Structure 1
Amino acid sequence: MIEKSKLTMINRSKQNLSDLLLMDQAIEMAKEALDANEIPVGCVLVSKTTEQVLSKGRNRTNETKNACLHAEFDAISGLHSIIQLGINLVYFGCSNDRFGGCGGVVSIHNDPNLIHSRPLAALGGYRREEAIILLRKFYITENTNAPVPKKKTNRVLKMEIPDV
């Protein structure tokens, strides 16, 4: 079982301007997702050496009816790919205590079973307030793309088990 670890949240006074400007681009991608009735998550991949934006992405799960097209998958293909590509630093806006994977629910970023070459640092708090407001805007709306829950009132427990 992966244990929950303490999140690394960077105080606003210690955040540098270039990181904040890049996070602004991720926030813009999140706003684009919100405008498309998606959970507002944006992702911007940046070269550590050149500081140039390599790729951007946003959630597209409802738009494509594909649960795999989260922002990070849209930009590349998930955490394993991030590690395999040698990316070792991720900045994020806010955590999610119910669904988060970088210390919110589990700490995928520092799970020794998943890290093959080097650890992945995940630093949060960048544009935190904006990120929280975007998520709140989404969660107060009705998700018209969510599946209709199945009613269990007419179900009957079947006790017979067929032979193999």
Structure 2
Amino acid sequence: MDHVKINNTSICCDKNENDEKQLKIINESIEKESRKQYYIKTVEELNETERQELPNHCKFMEAAIDEGHKALKEGEVPVACVIVHKGEIIARGSNKTNIKKNGTRHAELEAFDQIFLNKELNDRFKDSLLEECDLYVTVEPCLMCAVALQLCKIKRVFFGCHNDKFGGNGSVYELNFSPISNGRPYNCISGLLKERAILLLQLFYNQENKKAPVPNKRKRLDPEELKKEMLKISETSSSNQLILNISENLGDVKEKV
């Protein structure tokens, strides 16, 4: 018998049976072990001790949402994140796929680059830094980023709203559990400031895209309804003024509908 080790889990297998069936059995065994140690939870599923930390988590998600508003002004899909090490934000990132004309420049990878290019941080922590870090991102990481998070050995991921088409942390696949060579599974908490994260996306998809071809029929959100939703959310938001400023500009959108 031989031992295969993935995600720090050792599995016994027959060295001579390197076929697809054997590999599937190994992967299923590893994923089963991962699920015993790691989880995907909603905010509502947090226990009492975990709930006591929610104010701090919300503070960091607020910072990610602020980065999302900056991306919105740049014409990018407003997905953004911050990376936190022991209570301190050490990197910020937002979607740059349009600006850099590169479909891989998602918020998470932009934030990682800030860390990898920071000589002081790398000299100080070597390869262990991200193992002690939490990621706060407005939208569930896509499949690509979910795998990258494993390879970087991130500690935890907090996200706002789900990514129904490409989500790698529960919506499409649960890649934080999956057996990835040289990777490490991580915990996920979803639904943190979910309404704020959804609102950011609504603002983006409801605006006029001057470069887009004229469609036969375009379904858009009613600007008045969107404005009401923004005002409702702003009552409990620390970014009230920014939201109110955007809502005042919705009159221009209404005229184009």
| Shorter-normalised TM range | 0.7 to 0.9
Report the TM-score when normalising by structure 2: 0.49
Report the TM-score when normalising by structure 1: 0.73
Q: Percent same amino acid among aligned pairs? A: 34
List runs of 5+ in structure 2 lacking aligned partners: 1-23, 25-38, 114-144, 214-257
Runs of 4+ with >6 A deviation: none
Deviation at 1:105, TM superposition (A): 1.8
- Aligned mates of 2:42, 2:60 — CA distance in 1: 17
In our comparison, the structure showing a higher alpha carbon Rg is 2
Aligned-partner SS, 1:44: strand
2:153 to 86, 99, 102: 86
The verdict on how the C-alpha distance between 1:76 and 1:132 changes in structure 2, with shifts beyond 3 A counting, is: same
Deviation at 1:80, TM superposition (A): 4.6
- Aligned mates of 1:122, 1:115 — CA distance in 2: 20
Aligned-partner SS, 1:62: coil
Deviation at 1:16, TM superposition (A): 1.2
- Aligned mates of 2:77, 2:211 — CA distance in 1: 11
1:34 and 2:72 correspond: yes
Contact 2:161 2:190 in 1 (8 A): yes
- Aligned mates of 1:44, 1:110 — CA distance in 2: 22
Partner of 1:156: none
The verdict on how the C-alpha distance between 1:12 and 1:137 changes in structure 2, with shifts beyond 3 A counting, is: farther
* Greater relative CO, 1 or 2 (CA 8 Å, sep 6+): 1
Matches within 5 A, 1:64-75: 64-75=100-111
Alpha-carbon RMSD across the aligned residues, in angstroms, is 3.0
1:129 to 195, 210, 217: 195
Contact 1:59 1:69 in 2 (8 A): yes
List runs of 5+ in structure 1 lacking aligned partners: 149-164
Partner of 1:107: 174
